[in-house]
Structures are given as C-alpha cells and as structure tokens.
Structure 1
Amino acid sequence: MKILITDPIPEEGRRILSNAFQVEYVPGLSEEELRRKIAHADALVVRSETKVTARVLEGAESLKIIGRAGVGTDNIDVDFATRKGILVVNSPEGNTISASEHTMGLLLALARNIPQAHVSLHGKSWKRSQFVGVELYNKVLGVVGLGKIGREVVRRARSFQMQIIGHDPYLTPEQVEELGIEMSGLDDLCAKADFITLHVPLTRETEKIIGPRQFTLMRPEARIVNCARGGIIDEDALHEALLGKKIAGAALDVFSQEPPFSSPLLDLEEVVVTPHLGASTEEAQLKVAVAVAEQIVDFLSGKPARSPVNLPAFRPEVLGEAAPYLGLAERMGSLLAQLAEGPIQSVGLTLFGELAEISAPGEVVLSTVILKGLLSHELGDGVNYVNAAHLARTRGIQVVEGRSHKAAESSNLFLVRVKTPTGEWTCGGSLPRGSRKGRIVQLNDFRVDLVP
C-alpha cells in the first residue's frame, strides 16, 4: 500500500509508516500535483497547509484514509470524503501542554511588554520607562473554557498565585468542585478579570463570544489572550476597544483570517501577535504525527482507528440499517444543545415502531451520533464518533437507550430527551416512507414538521 505525505511531519511519524508501507514524502504540492499523486495513494497524511478539497478527492479512487496530524479539519472536505467512503482521522490530544504553555508565554509577554521592548532595543533604543508592565501575582485571571487546555492553564496560573475565575456552562458540579475555582457568568467574568484567556472551539455558539458588549464591561487595565481559535473574538470590536483605551492590550495567536496581513490589529502597539504557534513545538508535532501514523497503520491493517472524524466503528450491517437516520440524529443532538439551558445531566433515546426492530446495537449507533451532535456544540473538533460516549461519561451525562413497541404516529419515530438542572427538552425525528430526508416531528409538547 502507498502512503502520501504532503505536509512536513517529524521523521518518527514517517518511520512508523515506512516500516509498514511504501511512503512518498512530498510537501508543498500544488492542487494539480496533489490530484495526480493522490490517484494511486491508499492513505494521505496532512497537517494544516494542504487543502484536501472535493476536486482533489474526485479522482482518489484508491484512497481509504486521510490522517490529519493535529486537531482541526477545516482544510479537509470531510463531507465529500464521507460520501466517497474515505475515513478521516485526527490526533486531538497532542497539543494540550504546548498550547497551555504558549498561553502563559503570551500572558507574560503582554503583562511585561516583552516584544515591544525587544524591538526597541534591537533598534538601539534604551527606554526602560516606556515599557513598565504589571505583575501576574494576585491578578484575577478569567479562563473561558475549561477543557483539557483550559485546565492546564489553571494549573500553571496557580503557580503565579493568580486569582482564577472560570466560565464553562457545560461543567458538572462535581467537575467544578474538583477544579476548586470560582465559576462565573461570562459578563461577570469580563467585568472582574485583569486578564482573560479563551480556550473554546469555534462553533456557532462561540463565534464572536467576546464582542462589543463584553469589551464595554471590561476595565481599562484588562488584557485578553486568544490561543484557541480565530473568530472567537470579534476583531473589529477588539480594534475599537484598543483604540478607545477601553482595555489595555491583547495577545493573539489565532485570527479569523490567516495570515492576517490586512488586519488593522497588526498596526497597534498594544497587540502582541504570534503566527498560530500554539501547537508549534517539537514535542507537540511529534505527538500528533506519531498518533496519526499509528492510526493509519492500524486501520490499513484491519484494526479500528482511535479518533475517526467521520465514521463510527460499528458492524457494517448495523450501520446499514441505521444509516438513513444518522444525519437527522446528529442534527437533533445539535438542536437540543442549543435549546437546553444549563449543564446536561442525562440523554434518553427511545425507538418506536419499525425502528424499534433495528438490529442491536442500532440504538447505540444512534445515541452515539446524537451525543456527537450534542457535544460538538461545546467541543467542536474535539469530539468524534469514537470519543462521544466517553466525553459524555466524563461530564457526568447519563445515557439511556430504549425501544418501545407502543403505537406511534410514525412507524419509524425516535425521541431524544435531554435533562438539565433547569428542565427537560424533547425532540422527535422520523424518516417518512419513500423519503431520504429525515424530519423533526416533535419539539417538547408541540407537533412540528421541519427539515433540519
């Protein structure tokens, strides 16, 4: 079998692949060159530079798997790959330490004006009074998003004796108690914090989560850091807040458009920037390369992949029966995530009518897809079909699947119920006979007819 690698990855990752298969290592291909090379490849390995478009994949008749050495898959047309039956895998956990350390580096650089002083001294200027900074000691750090990276930042900030407040509406009371920090609403956090650091994925819910309203709430001495995803901060509002002296500074590793050469933020002295370096350490790049290489070897050797982005690992006959409902189920999960208020405590799935006769574990297939839709609203690229159930368990979410042979309005109805401390939300889905488009037929106590 032939493995095509089109972005730079460490030798250790390449060696794992070359020990098992034929490897062609050709970074920096144009789209046309990539189309020609991929036609005879069984696997493709990329980082973020290679754009794996539908046009590239059209002629990839032998391609079985695409490995992304990293987390985000924005550079891969995952939907088109899925339609062609190509598995997409990533390596979501290799950059946790590097990203949290880079966050602390930017916090210190921002607090002590280190980049500006560096440039000044290189220009043969000695202006110490111009670069007076502030200490991190005893300052209030607001951490928005308390996943793996956010928690590592909390651990490091404690060593600076910072006072930490957090915002993450998806944490359970047990997780909050384990963290041992004060939790707060986003607006209250913005009003209290001396420094704010963001650690959330880019989703519909988090896009521009820090905007004009939040900057209005911040104090003039506040500073903000984004090492997570571009688009989380409204960059126009940030520019306006800095020009108006509403906040003291910002440190950005990610941008809504990259490279951000046209951004007016690059013209401001108060802004510290790095070119998306959160995961750019030798250690992180080694971890993600090894992880994705091992998955490709496993998959091509007949073993399941650990972090598939687009295909769950269930028996083909079970997937075949459940397949018509999977897209609908995932969208229902996403919808319930947006409707539900507060941290989710339980998810219930009940199959009715003909759907209740689906081969086991068909209900597990559907609940897995529902959980992916539900958790993707919070975690973005960090959740996939393999880890969705595990992530639900770590958040204390109880999942209950069942079948009912009671008469239902539809012969293939399934109901999803989500409970939080503040209430319960229900969504019903069905696939009309002879139709390939699933429909939402119930929202709480209301009968509806929606194509999601």
Structure 2
Amino acid sequence: MLVVDRVPESFLTRLSGLGFTIDYRPGVTREELLQGLNGYHVLVFRGRLRIDRAVMDSSPSLRVLARYGVGLDNVDVEYAVSRGLAVVNAPGASAASVAELTLGLLIALHRSLYQHIDSVKRGVWSKSAFLGRELRGKTLGVVGFGRVGRLVARYASCLGMRVLVHDVVDASREAREAGAEQVGFWELLESSDAVTLHVPLTPQTRRMISWRELAAMKDGAFLVNTSRGEVVDAEALLASLDCLGGAALDVLEEEPPRSETLRRLVAHPKVIVTPHIGAETVEAQERIGEELAHAIAEAVERL
C-alpha cells in the first residue's frame, strides 16, 4: 500500500493491524507517483493529486483507490470502474464537522465577527461600528439535503431559524423530521435570508450559483459554501457583493487561489474565506481513518 498524503498515525496503525504493508510517502509529486506506483495494490490519497487515467495505467498491480476524505472529484471514477478498480472513501465521517463549520460561518457573517476581530487586533475598539443580526427568526435555505445538509437544517432549526431545503430527490419527509420544508430551487433563493450549499460537484452542480441565481437572492442575503468551490461562479459572486450581505467560503475553485478574480474575492471586505477546513477536526479525521480502513479491508477481501 502506498500512502501519498499526510494522514493520522492512528490510521496507519489500524491498517498495519489489518495486515497491510504500508509505504508512507506524504508529499509525493505527480511525476514521482507515475514513475513509482507500479507494484502497489492500494493507493491512499487526499485531494491534492489528480488520480486520472495516466496514474491508473502506470500500475498494472493497482487494485484499490482509497480517498482519505469524502469527495471523489479528483478521481476519474468512470475509468477506474472500467479498469475493475475498487474506489472507496469515507462519505459520512466528516458530516458533523462540516455542518458545525457551516453554522460557525453563518454566525460570523451575521455578527460581523471577522471585522470585529480584525479591528480589535489593529487596536480599534469597534463596538458600534458593525451592527449584527440574529439568526433566530431568519430563513435559511439549504441546497443539497444529504448528510451535511440534514445536520445543518437540524442545527439551524434548533436556533429558531425557518429552514427551507432543496434537493433533486423528494426529501420532504426527512425535511419535516429536521424541522424544515422542501421547496423548489428558485423559491428557496428568493425567500432565504441566507443560502448554504451542500452538493457534490457534478456537471449539473458546476457553477449552479451564477449571475441569474445571485440576482434572485434577497438584497442583503448571505451565501455560505462548504461543499466544492466550483459550485459557485466566483466572477459572478464578486460582481454581486454590492447587493449581498456577504459570503463565507471554505472552498475555492483554485486552492490556494491564484487567479486575479479569486484573489480579489478573498480580499473583499464582505467575504470570509477559510482554507478548506470543513473536515479538519480531530474527531472527523479519526472517523475518516476508521471508516476508510474498514472500506479498504472490505474491498481487498472482494478482490
């Protein structure tokens, strides 16, 4: 087994206990991976490297691709399946951490926490400079009602928010159980005081929030994205900030940001950006390791 990104020691210990021989080489470059993957049966990676046809074809011995995390958008899953490779991840392990971060970002936006913290650190006592808003009584629109979206809806409902949800499948019963109501996409955008995104990256969700969608949102509404950066059109968001209350983004289309548009978005006073930390908690990382080790062992047994 080759592990090419940093993972907790407990994950490596768990795999060793299952009988795997591990070559731990965090930080391996793509070129090194292409030249050195042959001979390994399992590849463990995070989101740093693109695991595409070239990588898979470089190793006839490869049998299992294991993503240490949730998203598989850096993996050519279709080609992997055609090659007979098992592709495993840990889809439920970080849901609570991502949901909690989402609520934290919502609170930070509504109470101007970033501006206050920055002002005080610069020696400015900003008590009356930024007037905040309560979450209680506001309407939250949750786009994507999977593991994370359902937790966010429950948390927000407990805080006294009215919660609207949208999903491509009928989740009306689950929505009611979470204290929410399932509505159409455009109704959600037009009715919500804040919109939070919890969808996978697919051809259908790429830039699903763009010019038209942002224009449909209420003046002064907030946008939170803790799903995938490509879900939001950064250029459209940057141009729409005069009408929005602000945006909080844990994900960007480029990480770290390199384009001029993303650099301007990150620097904008109405925008909070965190460096893709949704799953970066002790608890989530431990759960990912436990869930993924089990998935790897099961995949190997089936070979």
Q: TM-score, normalised by structure 1?
A: 0.62
- Structure-2 change in CA distance of 1:143 and 1:82 (3 Å): closer
Q: Distance between the aligned counterparts of 2:234 and 2:49, measured in 1?
A: 26
Instruction: Return the offset for 1:173.
Output: 4.5
Question: CA contact under 8 A between 1:66 and 1:86: conserved in structure 2?
Answer: yes
Q: Distance between the aligned counterparts of 1:133 and 1:74, measured in 2?
A: 37
Question: CA contact under 8 A between 2:171 and 2:182: conserved in structure 1?
Answer: no
Q: Does 1:221 align with 2:234?
A: no
Question: CA contact under 8 A between 2:153 and 2:179: conserved in structure 1?
Answer: no
What's 1:105 paired with? 104
- Structure-2 change in CA distance of 1:174 and 1:108 (3 Å): closer
What's 2:88 paired with? 89
Q: Distance between the aligned counterparts of 1:15 and 1:7, measured in 2?
A: 16
Q: Distance between the aligned counterparts of 2:134 and 2:171, measured in 1?
A: 32
What's the CA shift string for 1:146-198, capped at 9, x where partnerless?
Answer: 22211100111122111212222412543344344233222222222111111
Q: Distance between the aligned counterparts of 1:49 and 1:77, measured in 2?
A: 14
Instruction: Return the offset for 1:33.
Output: 2.2
Q: Does 1:280 align with 2:280?
A: yes
| Larger radius of gyration between Structure 1 and Structure 2 | 1
Q: Distance between the aligned counterparts of 1:303 and 1:276, measured in 2?
A: 34
What's 1:261 paired with? 258
Instruction: Return the offset for 1:83.
Output: 4.1
Instruction: Return the offset for 1:5.
Output: 0.8
Compare 20-29 and 181-190 and name the one that shifted more. Answer: 181-190
Q: Tell me how large the CA RMSD over aligned residues is.
A: 2.0
What's 1:4 paired with? 2
Q: Distance between the aligned counterparts of 2:184 and 2:208, measured in 1?
A: 12
* Mapping 1:15-34, distance limit 5 Å: 15-19=13-17, 20-34=19-33
Q: Distance between the aligned counterparts of 1:217 and 1:52, measured in 2?
A: 37
- Structure-2 change in CA distance of 1:155 and 1:176 (3 Å): closer
Compare 3-12 and 117-126 and name the one that shifted more. Answer: 117-126
Instruction: Return the offset for 1:303.
Output: 4.0
Q: Distance between the aligned counterparts of 1:227 and 1:129, measured in 2?
A: 30
- Structure-2 change in CA distance of 1:211 and 1:80 (3 Å): closer
What's 2:211 paired with? 212
Q: Distance between the aligned counterparts of 1:174 and 1:157, measured in 2?
A: 17
- Structure-2 change in CA distance of 1:279 and 1:249 (3 Å): same
What's 1:39 paired with? 38
What's the CA shift string for 1:235-259, capped at 9, x where partnerless?
Answer: 22211111xx211111111122322
What's 1:296 paired with? 296
- Structure-2 change in CA distance of 1:33 and 1:215 (3 Å): closer
Match of 1:246 among 243, 246, 265: 243
Q: Distance between the aligned counterparts of 2:50 and 2:143, measured in 1?
A: 31
Gap runs ≥5 in structure 1:
305-452
Give secondary structure in 2 for the equivalent of 1:48.
coil
Amino acid at match of 1:39: N
Q: Distance between the aligned counterparts of 1:284 and 1:182, measured in 2?
A: 28
What's 2:270 paired with? 270
Q: Distance between the aligned counterparts of 1:169 and 1:32, measured in 2?
A: 39
Q: Distance between the aligned counterparts of 1:59 and 1:162, measured in 2?
A: 52
Q: Distance between the aligned counterparts of 1:52 and 1:24, measured in 2?
A: 18
Q: Distance between the aligned counterparts of 1:74 and 1:174, measured in 2?
A: 29
Q: Distance between the aligned counterparts of 1:32 and 1:214, measured in 2?
A: 40
Compare 220-229 and 291-300 and name the one that shifted more. Answer: 291-300
Q: Distance between the aligned counterparts of 1:116 and 1:173, measured in 2?
A: 38
Q: Distance between the aligned counterparts of 1:4 and 1:174, measured in 2?
A: 43
What's the CA shift string for 1:42-91, capped at 9, x where partnerless?
Answer: 21111112333333333312221111111222323334433443222111
* Mapping 1:404-415, distance limit 5 Å: none
Amino acid at match of 1:260: P
Amino acid at match of 2:219: P
Question: CA contact under 8 A between 2:150 and 2:175: conserved in structure 1?
Answer: no
Question: CA contact under 8 A between 2:56 and 2:80: conserved in structure 1?
Answer: yes
Give secondary structure in 1 for the equivalent of 2:140.
strand
Instruction: Return the offset for 1:136.
Output: 0.9
What's 2:187 paired with? 188
Question: Percent identity between the aligned chains?
Answer: 38
Q: Does 1:120 align with 2:119?
A: yes
- Structure-2 change in CA distance of 1:121 and 1:227 (3 Å): same
Amino acid at match of 1:249: G
Q: Does 1:63 align with 2:57?
A: no
What's 1:350 paired with? none
Instruction: Return the offset for 1:102.
Output: 0.7
Larger relative contact order, structure 1 or 2 (CA cutoff 8 Å, min sep 6): 2
What's the CA shift string for 1:90-140, capped at 9, x where partnerless?
Answer: 111111101100100110111111122222222222222223211111111
Question: CA contact under 8 A between 1:211 and 1:233: conserved in structure 2?
Answer: yes
- Structure-2 change in CA distance of 1:205 and 1:50 (3 Å): closer
How many equivalent pairs are there? 299
Question: CA contact under 8 A between 2:154 and 2:178: conserved in structure 1?
Answer: no
Q: TM-score, normalised by structure 2?
A: 0.91
Q: Distance between the aligned counterparts of 1:172 and 1:141, measured in 2?
A: 17
